[in-house]
Structure 1
Amino acid sequence: MQRANRHRTIIAAVRGGDEVRASDLVRATGASAMTIRRDLSDLERRGVLRRTHGGAVGLPARGAQLPFQVRSETHVEEKRGIGEAVAAMIPDGSSVILDDGTTCGAVARALAGRELTVLALSVHLAAVLAEGGDASGRGIRVLTPGGELNPGELSWSGHRAVRDIEDFRADIGVLGVCGWDEESGMTASTLQDADVKKALIGSSRQVVAAAAAEKIGLSAVFSVCPSSAVDTLATGRLSRERRLWLEQEGVDVVCCA
């Protein structure tokens, strides 16, 4: 099979967002395992897919996100390190707004048992945080906003959610990231998510972004804030160039890998 045809076959296989094994692509194309690995590398550089251990998963079009379950199973160790780093930045007794998303989920798990008040912006986060308490009532006090519950993500959005976030005064806001690049600053995949993130930033004395390194350099559709609005970024391994432009914007970069 010619290279262009192989690429079309691979793109069609990963389009649904499910992980596809390299061995299945070898069978589908008749190519060698080495050729498939090379094809996957080429398509990853083009932003079509993301390589995984033993295969690949398709990337959504600009402005969309992979399903929550798929994201929760990728970069698990990197996200765990980010979660622990962010948790270490939060003193006991703090009030916190915790954005939705799988990296913020790692932050929630790292906060278990702490004496905090947390406004959790998704059902997933609220459940993780609530499990960290004990029978005496000690531990994290968990609050949630009102608003519309988004299917799949199980996060809140809408005017009521934004208003409730604006009414909460946080010592630290932990911000999830859809995309963040030098030209556009931080961006979100939906208008509703952008509004929620703006409210989080406005209600927080200190803003800490928690993001897997793959999100740095990407751009989604809806503007959230300039890079300078974020105090600290906890992430994985960044290139020297990306770290430099963030630091020039006044962002303290903490690499957790």
Structure 2
Amino acid sequence: MSQRIISHSRRGRLDAILECLLADETESAQSLATRFGVSLMTVHRDLDELQRRGVVRKFRGGVSVARTSTYEISAPLRRLVAVPQKKAIAAAAARMVGPGQSVLLDDSTTVAMTLDHLLGIEELHIVTNYLPTLTRIAHEGGPTVAAIGGTFDVGHESFLGVGAVGAIRALRVDTAFLSTTTADADGLYHQEESIVAVKSEMLRSARRRVLLVDSGKLGDTSLHQISEWDAVDDLITDVDAPADLLDALRSRGVTVTVVDPAPHTTEPAPGTEAADQHNEEK
């Protein structure tokens, strides 16, 4: 039996360790051992395994979650990151959608939050490859939903591969809402080639392409480029986004909406363009 096969209990502990580190990067190996009731040696083996995967970085006296250019953390953990920002961004995105439209939602945890605002829109048609989105619509009802098939990827909780790419290629939707792991002045990026193929096709499938990314993803790159900015019509991000980058994107014709994740408002920050005005221009 391969030494890389990991027991169910250890797999759960590895995910739980990552969750703890995402919540508090001051956690030490000793505090993690105490938290999970295992030996310090066991925790170090777990951290070594996570470091081998490129998910964490061990350093003298501590450990931190590694957001590397080649590995993306799993969907359950991504749902714990930048939650206020994602909620505000998703709310702004949903205001771009009207009755009777067709929208494509990718498998990002940011885009999935748009469902909080989309389910009540009349005669809405949603297309997605993300299983949690499909499951929620099945349970709560509302929009007509079309599932993009393909090979199911457990880590992303979505359908990918050549089957998904082929299905998306046959679509033409009003708006595609996407997110990704990094973006800089030259374009959008992702660590995994299989994701790049699907998102690239999603961008080609829509009349209007809207990128939803929190400020923590801006100003960096990953291994694979998805597209340049000419493939994006709108960017929605939060108030901590680099101002120089946003100005550069506006100069290239990208409509930039900035939202405030503070509890008192999710309205776009002053000076950003209104979504309905953009709709009329389109």
Superposition TM-score, scaled by structure 1 size: 0.76
> Does residue 1:85 correspond to 2:88, yes or no?
no
The answer on whether the counterparts of 2:98 and 2:121 sit within 8 Å (CA) in structure 1 is: no
Q: Which structure 2 residues correspond to residues 1-257 of structure 1 after superposition, within 5 A?
A: 17-20=18-21, 21=24, 24-25=27-28, 58-115=65-122, 116-133=124-141, 139-183=142-186, 185-237=187-239, 238-257=241-260
1:113 to 1:62, Cα distance in 2 relative to 1, 3 A: same
1:23 to 1:174, Cα distance in 2 relative to 1, 3 A: closer
The answer on whether the counterparts of 1:177 and 1:188 sit within 8 Å (CA) in structure 2 is: yes
User: Please, what is the CA RMSD of the aligned residues?
Assistant: 2.5
| Cα offsets for 1:200-248 (capped at 9, x unmatched) | 1111000011111111112111121101210001111212112111112
The answer on whether the counterparts of 1:59 and 1:66 sit within 8 Å (CA) in structure 2 is: no
- The alpha-carbon deviation at position 83 of structure 1 amounts to 0.9
- The alpha-carbon deviation at position 60 of structure 1 amounts to 2.9
The answer on whether the counterparts of 2:127 and 2:147 sit within 8 Å (CA) in structure 1 is: yes
How many residues get paired? 214
Structure 1 counterpart of 2:195, one-letter code: D
Name stretches of at least 5 consecutive residues in structure 1 with no aligned partner: 1-15, 29-47, 50-54, 134-138
Structure 2 counterpart of 1:230, one-letter code: V
SS class of match (2:167): helix
CA separation in 2, counterparts of 1:25 and 1:88? 43
| Cα offsets for 1:47-75 (capped at 9, x unmatched) | x88xxxxx995123212112212210121
Aligned to 1:38: none
1:129 to 1:245, Cα distance in 2 relative to 1, 3 A: farther
1:131 to 1:86, Cα distance in 2 relative to 1, 3 A: farther
What percent of counterpart residues are identical? 25
Superposition TM-score, scaled by structure 2 size: 0.70
